[in-house]
Amino acid sequence: MSAKGLVVLTAKLTVMQHTFTKPVVVGAAILDDATRPTQMLAARRKAPKSLAGYWEFPGGKVEPEETPTGALVREIREELGVEIEILEHIAAPSDAGWRLDNGMNMHVYTAIVRLGKPEPLIEHDRLEWAALTASDLHELEWIPADRLILDAILTQLGGTNASA
Ligand SMILES: Nc1nc2c([nH]c(=O)n2[C@H]2C[C@H](O)[C@@H](COP(=O)(O)OP(=O)(O)OP(=O)(O)O)O2)c(=O)[nH]1
């Protein structure tokens, strides 16, 4: 095959890969404080109909040219109108992340707000600071797949979280 043919084939394969592989989702567990967190920001989805009313980690899909953390900073800027600093990755059951009900995988990172006040701008109709305790977090109606992640966050923050 000629060099030109190889370039065309590679380009076609890249397009096919983006078409057929599921996007990776990133979510932010936004904390009220980096060293002694007591609260986490939950966001209630407006759409699609099947997810409207459920609480989630604000975030979204990683675009092909983005890093996961770069995508998360962008998504939070778009959705909540704030600049965040990412703190740590929440350890997931596999390198692929947390398996979601839609077949996608999600990576979750703790973060703090560096600039601005979070507002539900596009995808959400409510934001709520929930206490970092199992009872307060689970009281909200989360997207079912997110509940395991809540427990992992509580466990991972256990060493620094005064209220857990
Ligand atoms: N953001 C987010 N999505 C989640 C969570 N749990 C969960 O199952 N999902 C699902 C819902 C969606 O099907 C998918 C994420 O898609 P999204 O609609 O948030 O992505 P996006 O902001 O990039 O939106 P779009 O450009 O595709 O419209 O993952 C979660 O905690 N946060």
Pick the CATH number of 22-157 from 3.40.190.10, 3.90.79.10, 3.40.47.10, 1.20.1440.60: 3.90.79.10
**Tens digits of per-residue pLDDT, 38-52?**
999 999 999 999 999
pLDDT of residue 160 exceeding 80: no
Output the residue whose Cα is nearest ligand 1's atom 16.
60
- Whole-angstrom CA distances from 86 to 19, 21, 52, 108, 109 are 29, 26, 27, 10, 7
Q: Looking at residue 105, what DSSP letter applies?
A: E
d(CA 20, CA 2): 27
- Identify each DSSP E strand in 32-123 by its residue range: 39-45, 55-56, 59-61, 83-89, 98-99, 105-115
> What's the complex ipTM?
0.97
d(CA 164, CA 157): 8
H or E stretch covering 77 = helix 68-80
Which atom in ligand 1 lies closest to the alpha carbon of residue 58?
A: 1
| Predicted pLDDT at 21 | 81
- Ligand 1 centroid distance, CA of 89 (Å): 18
Output the residue whose Cα is nearest ligand 1's atom 9.
100
pLDDT of residue 9 exceeding 70: no
Q: Looking at residue 116, what DSSP letter applies?
A: S
111 contacts 139 by C-beta, under 8 angstroms? no
**Tens digits of per-residue pLDDT, 53-98?**
999 999 999 999 999 999 999 999 999 999 999 999 999 999 999 9
**pTM assigned to the model:** 0.88
Output the residue whose Cα is nearest ligand 1's atom 13.
102
Identify the band that residue 1 occupies on the pLDDT scale cut at 50, 70 and 90: low
pLDDT of residue 27 exceeding 50: yes
| Predicted pLDDT at 129 | 98
d(CA 133, CA 87): 19
| Predicted pLDDT at 164 | 41
- Residues 25-46: what's their mean pLDDT? 98
Query: Which tokens go with 56?
Result: 């989630």
- Torsions phi, psi of 48, nearest 5? -65, 175
